[in-house]
Amino acid sequence: MAPRSLVMDLLEGASLGDIDDTLPPHVAIRYLDYCLDALGAAHDAGIVHRDIKPDNILLTLQGNIKLLDVGIATLREHIAGITVVTKEGYVMGTPGYMAPEQARGHWDQVDRQSDIWALGATFSSCCRERQFTPPRPPTRPSGSPWWWRPDR
C-alpha cells in the first residue's frame, strides 16, 4: 500500500470567534450563505461536521469564508473499508452550539440537520452581543465536561 498524506492550504485570517464586534445582518447573511454552500458539499459527500462554531469559521485575508476543523466529523453513510465508531452516550462537540441530540450523545440521530442547528446557533451568537444559549438537555448536569457520559 502506498503511503498516504494529507495536503492542506495555508490559511491566514481570523475566525468569526476572533471578531470582537457583532456582525451586521447583511455581512452575516453573506457569510452564512458561504457556510451553507460548504456544508452542502460536505453533506452531499456524506460528512457531518459535528463541531460548527465561530472559532471554526475562518474569514481569510482575501475575504473568503472557510469551514475548518473536521476533527470530530463523521460519515453518515456506510462506505466500504471505513469504520466509524462513536460510542452512544458520549458527548463530543462544543456546548452552546451543539444540537440537542448531539448534546445528549444520541449519535444515531446526529445528521446534517444537527450541523444546520449548530450553524444557526453560531450565527445567532455572531449577530448578538451574547452567545446563543439553547436549553440544556435534562440528562446532562450543568458544568459537566464535553466527554461526560449520562449513563455513568
CA–CA dist 7, 71 (Å, integer): 15
Buried b (16+ CB within 10 A) or exposed e, 86-106: eeeeebbbbbbbbbebbbbbb
- Vertex 6 angle, CA 56 and 39, to 5°: 35
Q: Please give the positions annotated as active site.
A: 51
